[in-house]
Amino acid sequence: MCRRLGVKLCQSDKCPLARRNYPPGIHGSKGKKRQTEYGLQLAEKQKAKVVYNILEKQFFLTFKKASQMQGDTGNNLLSLLELRLDNTVYRLGFADTRAQARQLVSHGHFRVNGRKVDIPSLILKSGDLISPCHSSASNKYFKKQIEKIKQEKIPGWLYVDLSKQEAKVLHAPKEGDGENVFDTKAIIEYYSRR
């Protein structure tokens, strides 16, 4: 997908785009065709889906929810995507990739407000507490990740207390807090065609 869309979307050090900076296919690097407006909008939507590691139906339902909220639909969409539990676990540094965070959540390694949760698409609210389960917190993996968290930069909308091994959502993410790889206006225009 990185090569198809021409942007580094993965968190891998060995991104295929670094080695071959042209679209995949049998004809190789013969250049890009000129894209239509629809094609550009579709590409922006695909970028967002790949970055946040969600499928089309979930993405569309998230967009619908964002469009029904008050305020700017683009900011609402970005906020809802950032507040997903799997993304928040990734942002906190408990996982190296969003796919890994999704797996950790679905295997039941995290608690939200003291209750064990295994739904990666759970939308968090401000004031929610996230912590590893008691059995998971003593795991060698989580001890190593907590050491890494001390060195990483945590977004401003999250607060981490490493002594208690818990994090708190302070407020909804603002416009500059999300991924800047895709254009939310193009996604809104794409879905307004329906």
The pLDDT score that the predictor gives to residue 26 is 65
The pLDDT score that the predictor gives to residue 96 is 87
Query: Model's pTM, two decimal places?
Result: 0.83
The pLDDT score that the predictor gives to residue 28 is 63
Q: Domain count of the chain?
A: 1
Residue 31 maps to a domain: no
Give the pair of three-digit tokens for residue 193. Answer: 């065609």
Q: How far is residue 159's CA from residue 162's CA, in Å, rounded to a whole number?
A: 10
The pLDDT score that the predictor gives to residue 21 is 74
Residue 100 maps to a domain: yes
Residue 148 maps to a domain: yes
Give the pair of three-digit tokens for residue 63. Answer: 């967009």
* CB half-sphere exposure, 187, CA atoms < 13 A: 25
Residue 156 maps to a domain: yes
158 pLDDT above the threshold of 70: yes
Structural domain boundaries enclosing 166? 84-171
180 band by pLDDT with thresholds 50, 70 and 90:
confident
Residue 144 maps to a domain: yes
Residue 29 maps to a domain: no
- What is the edge-to-edge ordering of all strands in the sheet holding 110-112? 115-117, 110-112, 129-132, 166-169, 158-161
The pLDDT score that the predictor gives to residue 62 is 95
For residue 79, give Cα distances in angstroms to 20, 54, 127: 33, 15, 15
Q: What is the pLDDT of residues 38-76, one digit of tens each?
A: 988 998 999 899 889 899 999 999 999 999 999 999 999
Amino acid at 114: G
* Domain CATH for 142: 3.10.290.10
Reported as type and span, the H/E element at residue 160 is strand 158-161
Q: Evaluate whether 55 touches 49 at the Cβ level (below 8 Å).
A: yes
**CA dihedral of 166, 169, 173, 174, whole degrees rounded to 10:** -120
